[in-house]
Structure 1
């Protein structure tokens, strides 16, 4: 298992919104929004059920980004 640079605070990413062009903010790992206990589950276990079949194999961490203007959401796979 690698270390996600966003989860561990090594770097920040602020992509532009594909809908309106404004900056998007990282709202954390997508898996943390699945249910009440998701944030407390082991990351590798959540990767087996997150719907991204190659994220564990390719060392990627799915993050939810939300636009600060139009509130559009987008999932980005961050390389660990």
Structure 2
């Protein structure tokens, strides 16, 4: 079984803001922001709508990260692994 190590609490995102260098805060999967019910949908199906054409095939989970200092938001791809 494959899954995102960040979504499953096995690791944390270690990303720094490109503008100010502050540690970024994980805001969750991008697909959770699509509509009120997207967080409850099947994960592999939602990967078809995350803006990354290969996220399902390449086993990537797209997360939104935000800088608490300068409020910049970025998207990063997390490699799904075996759980």
After TM superposition, the score normalised by the length of structure 1 is: 0.94
- Over aligned residue pairs, what C-alpha RMSD do you find? 1.0
Is the 1:59–1:79 contact (alpha carbons within 8 Å) kept by the matching residues of 2? yes
Counterpart of 1:78 in 2: which secondary structure? strand
CA drift at 1:14: 2.7
Q: Who is 1:76 aligned against?
A: 76
Q: Who is 1:66 aligned against?
A: 66
- Tell me how far apart the structure 2 counterparts of residues 7 and 23 of structure 1 sit (CA, whole Å): 18
Counterparts of 1:27-42 in structure 2, within 5 Å, are: 27-42=27-42
CA drift at 1:48: 1.2
Counterpart of 1:71 in 2: which secondary structure? coil
Is the 1:20–1:70 contact (alpha carbons within 8 Å) kept by the matching residues of 2? yes
Q: Who is 1:6 aligned against?
A: 6
Runs of 4+ in 1 over 3 A off after TM superposition: none
Counterpart of 2:3 in 1: which secondary structure? coil
Q: 5+ residue gaps in structure 2?
A: none
